[in-house]
Amino acid sequence: MKIAIIVPMEIEAQFYLQHFPVERTVKYGVAEYRVFKIGQNEIFLGLSGIGKVQAAMNLASLLACQPIDLILVTGSAGSLQTNVKLKDLLLVNAFAYYDVHCQEAGDYQLGQIPHEPAEFALTGSAFDEFASFLQTKHVDYKTGLVVTGDSFLANEDDKRAIKADFPAAMAVEMEGAAFAQVAYHFQTPLVVLRAISDNGDQDANFNFDQFVAEVGKKAASLVVEYLESKAE
């Protein structure tokens, strides 16, 4: 299999690089990927950058050039629910855009880009297999909707507004729906594991730098175990 691992920042890529020696570096369009193998699986490790455009551009550059069988995304997110706590793991089953408003353009839902799904569901065999792996490892995780937008939330008013529009959303971040939209069009399975790095409130700018490396490592370590189990 050819598997892509995508993380937003270099600090989140370092955990993978500590485990696996890079065999080569390739560049597709503007996106650079470090390539290594785990068993018979060829792994493409890339940085998405921050935000929706960067995420879509860099993932699409890879998928247009390589027949990727599975995309794995790890990283962090801010909680939107009181029962989603700092350092919790979220196995995302759907993404939506919280900052898209096209209802006046036609029969579209809040968050829906015209002619695109209102939500991008991630359920399927890849999701089920990864969920089964987490359960076998007795890993506590939550699953649900995560919403995406081009803002780093750091106040309670913004959080309340998003929750009013998307009451079921468990967390908020800046890339996931763009990954999901690209994967949807390339018909490539996508698995996203986010770890909660902040509460999406006034303490977010204080918490983020402190916790992003720790929670990113937590999610990445599970992906490493998963890939090693597939190599056996």
Catalytic residues: 12, 198
- The answer to whether residues 209 and 185 touch, using CB atoms and an 8 Å cutoff, is no
- The answer to whether residues 120 and 180 touch, using CB atoms and an 8 Å cutoff, is yes
- The answer to whether residues 28 and 35 touch, using CB atoms and an 8 Å cutoff, is no
Please give the structure tokens belonging to residue 51: 């935000």
Range 182-210 burial, b when 16+ CB lie within 10 A, else e: bbbebebbbbbbbbbbbbbbeebeebeee
Rounded Cα–Cα distance for residues 43 and 50 (Å)? 22
Rounded Cα–Cα distance for residues 50 and 52 (Å)? 7
R_g of the chain, CA atoms, integer Å: 17
Rounded Cα–Cα distance for residues 185 and 174 (Å)? 19
